[in-house]
Amino acid sequence: MTDRTELKARVDRVLGEFVTAEIGHLLEIDEDLAPVAEQLRVATAHGKRLRAAFCYWGWRAADQPDSVDLVRAAAAMELVHAAAIVHDDLIDDSRLRHGLPTAHLSLRDAVSGRPRHHGAARSLAMLVGDLLMSWAGQLFTDCGLPAAYLARARPLWSILARELVAGECLEILRTGTTPDVEASLQVIRYKTAKYTVEHPLRIGGALGGAALDLRRFYTAYGLPLGEAFQLRDDLLGVFGDPERTGKADSDDIATGRPTALLAHAWQAAARTERGELRRLVGTRRVSGEDLDRVKAIMQRTKAAFRVERMVAERVDAALLAVERTRMPAGAADALTELAHSAAVRQS
């Protein structure tokens, strides 16, 4: 057994050693790459390491023992997440992540005083995200597990990448369209839920040679829990404390992201309120007063309550899947704890 704090520390060590070595190779090319190297370090230094945890417990649920090599493979999931975050912040033009300026803003200093420096900084950030995704595959392939184990999981990587990109594209395509709960859930499912919970579990299980019933469990547990995780994130993105979330509470409103929270508010809003939502959401410049008004509409229409209920229903579905599936007790306990944490987190 290993507890969450210990596992996180192990993943942090793997990532720290790997990123330091890779940054060293990058700087051997030219010291001018130092600002890029710093953003690579920042992008990989934070996080709860949930994706690594799900990969680890997918492996342990298959009745496999603790493994240093598996922890390295699981850490690769965090590099996927780091890449997705850099790209997502760039697409949304977000200003804060973990309480720090996002990559495309931080990199402006490296190109200040040059023509089109804003565009140059964004291009550098895009390449940071691309390299992080490449690193994920590299760390996974070189984790130390037997080639036969890796071969079982390799096809899942292409599925993960395809679905992650599809979800991001769907969010872009649906931003600014009429809010719809089902359309929002599809975005959530592919952009976040699958790569956060389901795919890490499936990859860990594939590495461990999981049987069919367990592979079905990974989806029965992972998909609703992944959706609950993102629904909670959407609530925190508007109603959370920026000091705890490390993100601005106006981002989702300013960009007009197609969240289930916004969709529920739209569906239940009065005609005049819909007019206000059209005027205030997606304007990129949201004042404190504007944000308070959108929040008030979301509260009056019980949109926040409805999303809270969606979170609870999905966590319950995940917990029921654990109860119905045979697996080692330690894995069941860990996956139960992880499910509960998705429902109550504040950041």
Query: pLDDT tens digit string along 313-347?
Result: 999 999 999 999 999 999 999 999 999 987 777 76
100 three-class SS: strand
Predicted TM-score (pTM) of the model is 0.94
Per-residue model confidence (pLDDT) at position 179? 94
Share of the chain above pLDDT 70, in %: 99
Mean pLDDT of 178-205: 96
**Position 292, amino acid:** D
Mean pLDDT of 163-180: 94
Mean pLDDT of 76-96: 94
Backbone phi, then psi, for 11, in 5-degree steps?
-65, -45
Convert the pLDDT of each residue in 259-285 to its tens digit.
Answer: 999 999 999 999 999 999 999 998 877
Q: How far apart, in whole angstroms, are the C-alpha atoms of residue 83 and residue 60?
A: 26
Bigger pLDDT: 210 vs 113: 210
Q: Is the pLDDT of residue 236 over 80?
A: yes
Per-residue model confidence (pLDDT) at position 346? 73
**Position 61, amino acid:** A
Convert the pLDDT of each residue in 297-307 to its tens digit.
Answer: 999 999 999 99
Q: Is the pLDDT of residue 1 over 70?
A: no
Per-residue model confidence (pLDDT) at position 270? 96
Could you give the domains of the chain? 4-344 (1.10.600.10)
| Cβ atoms of 122 and 55 closer than 8 Å | no
Mean pLDDT of 238-263: 87
Helices 212-239, 199-207: axis angle to 10 degrees equals 150
Per-residue model confidence (pLDDT) at position 193? 93
Please give the mean pLDDT across all residues of the chain.
94
Q: How far apart, in whole angstroms, are the C-alpha atoms of residue 343 and residue 187?
A: 20
Mean pLDDT of 256-260: 92
Backbone phi, then psi, for 93, in 5-degree steps?
55, 40
Q: Is the pLDDT of residue 252 over 80?
A: yes
Q: How far apart, in whole angstroms, are the C-alpha atoms of residue 12 and residue 255?
A: 32
Q: How far apart, in whole angstroms, are the C-alpha atoms of residue 232 and residue 42?
A: 24
Under DSSP, the state recorded for 102 is: -
Mean pLDDT of 226-251: 89
Mean pLDDT of 155-171: 96
Tokens of 217: 């469990």
Convert the pLDDT of each residue in 103-122 to its tens digit.
Answer: 999 999 999 988 899 999 99
